[in-house]
Amino acid sequence: MNMSRCLITQREVQSFIEGCMVAVGTKPGHAKSLAEVLVEGDHRGHYSHGLNRMDMYVKDIQTGICEKDGEPTIVKESVATALVNGNNLLGPVVGNFCMDLAIRKAREVGIGWVVAHGSNHFGIAGYYSMQALKENMIGMSYTNTSPLVMPTRAKECTLGTNPISVAAPAKDGDSFVLDMATSAVALGKVELHHRRAQRRGPGAHRGCEETGGYKGYGLGLMVEVFCGILAGAQYSRHVRTWKVTDKVADLGQCFVAINPENFAAGFNDRMSDLLTLHRNLEPAELDTPVLSPGDPERSNIEKCAKLGGIPYHINVVNHMNGVAKKIGVTPLLPTNVPVPE
Ligand SMILES: NC(=O)c1ccc[n+]([C@@H]2O[C@H](COP(=O)([O-])OP(=O)(O)OC[C@H]3O[C@@H](n4cnc5c(N)ncnc54)[C@H](O)[C@@H]3O)[C@@H](O)[C@H]2O)c1
């Protein structure tokens, strides 16, 4: 058994995060939206973008650098597009507003392309793109972030880990879900390694030319085109320094929904064929089957279902309980189910 991990039910984590956010003054509906995105991050195995990040959002509300009340507003709109002002609300509040709007437009005219300025950190990009799957549509989401990545050949960090997510529905609930940082490693993974007190974290953020790092650099810039530039938000080196909350984040984000019904018939069938074709490829090494994007996350969800909760590193739980204590919130209560190695 793994003594450094404990199992906590999704419901417990959800209400704990909501409790902490409400305790510092967040509007309950907004606290709920944030908690849902963070729990989904953990559930999908992206522990770097779940409970582990709660203290950052608590601090953003406590310091008043992020708004705790209000709603995003539409600044400009056409049948297929919208520019939204996130009004400096929590990222998931802005993200849900924009993705809902994009889906509504795609239902009406086949595509909805919505960009926002005045937003904040929104958690896993896949949370928003996957909303489109519920409507049998393709979803995309992008966000810029604080500069942490050095462009190929440069010495200065001018790009964030700028994630990309594209989700596309196949048959019988199956789907393609690409959800990735455009840097070799998501920053959260490095941070999580530190919190878990492992000695060495995964590598640097620099894109080496020999290993094609300029492709990630190009994708990071593409995210800026869709987000910071298109939305008129902060971009590149103008985005505030990571975890330095001396000014509002004013992040740019982009949310797209596309209705396959407006294109060639049989989309879901071909998607299923595409995914199966790849999953059935003969693996180069016997015990590592070929996956399609979204499969690793699916395995983690299955693992959580089997265990009856989400396994957390004890250091993450202790750290968050320390945060909760300071704001008078009941600590997280792990189950007594042991977590296997
Ligand atoms: N909000 C932000 O500022 C921000 C910034 C960076 C990253 N993130 C989030 O962090 C999370 C982690 O990002 P990451 O880049 O570390 O993800 P990752 O490297 O774990 O996975 C990236 C993608 O590759 C797929 N994948 C993994 N192994 C695969 C395999 N063997 N075969 C085929 N596909 C495979 C995954 O399904 C996923 O779609 C994401 O949810 C991302 O949205 C958020």
Q: What is the pLDDT of residues 236-286, one digit of tens each?
A: 999 999 988 889 999 999 999 999 999 999 999 999 999 999 999 999 999
Residue nearest to atom 35 of ligand 1 (CA): 293
**Statement: residue 203 has pLDDT above 60:** no
pLDDT at 243: 83
Q: Are 90 and 17 in contact (CB under 8 A)?
A: no
119 lines ligand 1 (CB under 6 A): no
pLDDT at 199: 52
pLDDT band at 186 (very low <50, low <70, confident <90, very high): low
Residue nearest to atom 31 of ligand 1 (CA): 291
Question: Average pLDDT of 200-215?
Answer: 67
pLDDT band at 201 (very low <50, low <70, confident <90, very high): very low
Residue in 44, 162, 165, 179 to alter for ligand 1 test, most ligand atoms within 8 A of Cβ: 179
The number of the ligand 1 atom at minimal distance from the alpha carbon of 91 is 1
Q: Compute the distance between CA of residue 92 and CA of residue 18 in angstroms, rounded to an integer.
A: 13
User: How far apart are the CA of 315 and the centre of ligand 1, in A?
Assistant: 23
**Statement: residue 202 has pLDDT above 80:** no
pLDDT band at 172 (very low <50, low <70, confident <90, very high): very high
Rounded to 10°, the helix 10-23/54-62 angle is: 20
Through-space distance between the first and last CA atoms of the chain, rounded to whole angstroms: 6
- What is the per-residue pLDDT across 122-142, written as a single tens digit (0 to 9) for each? 999 999 999 999 999 999 999
291 lines ligand 1 (CB under 6 A): yes
Find the helix or strand (DSSP H, E) in which 104 lies: helix 91-109
Nearest Cα to Cα of residue 175 among 100, 39, 276: 276
User: How far apart are the CA of 160 and the centre of ligand 1, in A?
Assistant: 15
178 lines ligand 1 (CB under 6 A): yes
Percent of the chain at pLDDT > 90 equals 86
Those residues whose C-beta lies under 8 Å from the C-beta of residue 193, and which sit 6 or more positions away, are: 200, 201, 202
**Statement: residue 188 has pLDDT above 80:** no
User: How far apart are the CA of 309 and the centre of ligand 1, in A?
Assistant: 22
> Considering the chain, what is the average pLDDT of its residues?
94
pLDDT at 198: 58
126 lines ligand 1 (CB under 6 A): yes
State the CB neighbour count (10 A cutoff) for residue 201.
14
pLDDT at 34: 98
User: How far apart are the CA of 180 and the centre of ligand 1, in A?
Assistant: 3
pLDDT at 135: 98
- Residue 223 half-sphere exposure toward CB, CA atoms < 13 A: 33
User: How far apart are the CA of 164 and the centre of ligand 1, in A?
Assistant: 9
- What is the per-residue pLDDT across 80-92, written as a single tens digit (0 to 9) for each? 999 999 999 999 9
- What is the per-residue pLDDT across 23-64, written as a single tens digit (0 to 9) for each? 999 999 999 999 999 999 999 999 999 999 999 999 999 999
pLDDT at 245: 84
Strands 73-77 and 111-119: unpaired
The number of the ligand 1 atom at minimal distance from the alpha carbon of 288 is 31
Residue nearest to atom 3 of ligand 1 (CA): 145
pTM given for the model = 0.95
User: How far apart are the CA of 177 and the centre of ligand 1, in A?
Assistant: 10
User: How far apart are the CA of 182 and the centre of ligand 1, in A?
Assistant: 9
User: How far apart are the CA of 178 and the centre of ligand 1, in A?
Assistant: 7
Residue in 44, 48, 49 to alter for ligand 1 test, most ligand atoms within 8 A of Cβ: 49
121 lines ligand 1 (CB under 6 A): yes
